[in-house]
Amino acid sequence: MVFHILGVVIILLVSASPSGRADPAPVQYSAINCRKHTAVLTDFGAVGDGKTLNTKAFETAVANLSQFAADGGAQLIVPAGKWLTGSFNLTSHFTLFLHKDAVILGSQNMEDWPLVAPLPSFGTAADGSTGARHASLLFGANLTDVVITGNNGTIDGQGAKWWDDFKNKKLKDARPFLVEIQSTDQLQISNVTFTNSPMWNVHPVYCSNVVIQGVTILAPVEVPNTDGINPDSCTNIRIEDCYIASGDDCIAVKSGIDQYGIKVGKPTKQLAIRRSAVVALGSEMSGGIQDVRIEDVTAINCQSGIRIKTAVGRGGYVKDIFARRMTMSGMEKVFWMSGAYKSHADGGFDPNALPVVHNINYRDVVAQNVTVSAILDGLEKAHFTGICISNVTLNLGPAARELQWNCTNVSGTTSRVTPKPCDELPEKAGDCPFPEDKLPIDDVVLKSCSTA
């Protein structure tokens, strides 16, 4: 219900749809919390024609709904249509729900994506740009209880112009992400399709108690830095049932880079990844990465299965990593660890800050059409230790290299692995461990909610 009083728009929200408004049919969905109040984006003057800029409508909607944070929270329904917008902020105790035929379109006018400062744990932009960075399409910071969900509506960054300008070195400032949520407790992102992001797709950073599930992410494979899901300096995270096709890492676990990440000192820990895509750990891992549990991965035509990447100057650690039940095909490298990653935030890193990579466990892996079984390349002054690989069958493809296991500055054991591993990983009977206890995030049970 909308009232105009002396030029001021006042929106009255009710749990049931007010008479005379053509709301979408109610939809049941699952969320960490349901909402007492409901509004539809069109209540705020939005036009879903794919041409009208709706940034102001989104901003007004969120501002109005924020007043209900202490009264059961509120949800904003994005109905069917194409809703063009620039960057806008979310609020606490808030749900953004996308109808199955709703498409949020990122504006192609770069001025609609304002500039923001680099993250403290990165020092510079994530793609190495020396300027500022453009704000993500959906942004939030210092919030509590935020849900981005739907019945598989779409958020389309329309990133082609950004990709072309980046390729042709026309950008002074870094490309934006589709979603970046900072310093937030209780975050859910589910049942939404993300496509054509200018850069990374989903970036929770400095967050806790995060649930990401049922997400589809689509990016052209030839476009760099279009990572799928990047949990960064976060604690207690669950990523499940996600489909990701990306031009870079599908899931990349991070915690800041070099001296900046060391100074902030926020690790990513207690992370469960299930029934989703392949995973990279690093290279930005200077705050530490610990207790990551990866299960039931399915991958086709990927550069690597599980990749650990770090460098001299990173400091930090990657430790207590567990992966099991991986099924892959068309793999360039199945296991890949590298201590020689070349990128740095700037020249101010400490060459004596060496990363620790320890207690890395992979088991129950089957891969077809493999080119290289493993490249495990530690550092001369910081060997990668405690590597365990068991019950692995890698079937080589027609392009398979003669040297299948290339191991340097590493140590550990293997059991029942084919092809035969390198001498640095001798045979030892028994399976690699996988924790049997639950992570705290597994105690989070989603509630049954409605858009009505």
Of 197, 236, 235, the residue nearest 216 (C-alpha): 197
- 306 by Cβ neighbours in 10 Å (0-12 / 13-18 / 19+) ranks as buried
Query: How far is the CA of 326 from the CAs of 2, 78, 128, 442, in angstroms?
Result: 53, 37, 33, 21
Question: Any catalytic annotation for residue 423?
Answer: no
Q: Which of 227, 248, 258, 364 is catalytic?
A: 248
Distance in angstroms (rounded) separating the CA atoms of residues 283 and 342: 9
3-state secondary structure the chain: CEEEECCEEEECCECCCCCCCCCCCCCEEEECCCCCEEEEHHHHCCCCEEEEECHHHHHHHHHHHHHHCCCCCEEEEECCEEEEECCEECCCCEEEEECCCEEEEECCCHHHCCEECCCCCCCCCCCCCCCCEECCCEEEECCEEEEEEECCEEEECCCHHHHHHHHCCCCCCECCCCEEEECCEEEEEECEEEECCCCCCEEEECCEEEEEECCEEECCCCCCCCCCECCECCEEEEEECCEEECCCCCEEEECCCHHHHHHHCCCEEEEEEECCCCEEEECCCCCCEEEEEEEEEEEECCCEEEEEECCCCCCCEEEEEEEEEEEEECCCEEEEEECCCCCCCCCCCCCCCCCEEEEEEEEEEEEEEECEEEEEECECCECEEEEEEEEEEEEECCCCCCCCEEEECEEEEEEEEECCCCCCCCECCCCCCCCCCCCHHHHCCCEEEECC
Q: Measured between alpha carbons, how far is 59 from 417 in angstroms, rounded to an integer?
A: 55
Whether residue 219 contacts residue 177, with contact meaning beta carbons closer than 8 Å, is answered with no
Please answer whether residues 256 and 230 qualify as being in contact, where contact means their C-beta atoms are separated by less than 8 angstroms: no
- Token pair for 125: 């932009």
Active site residues: 248
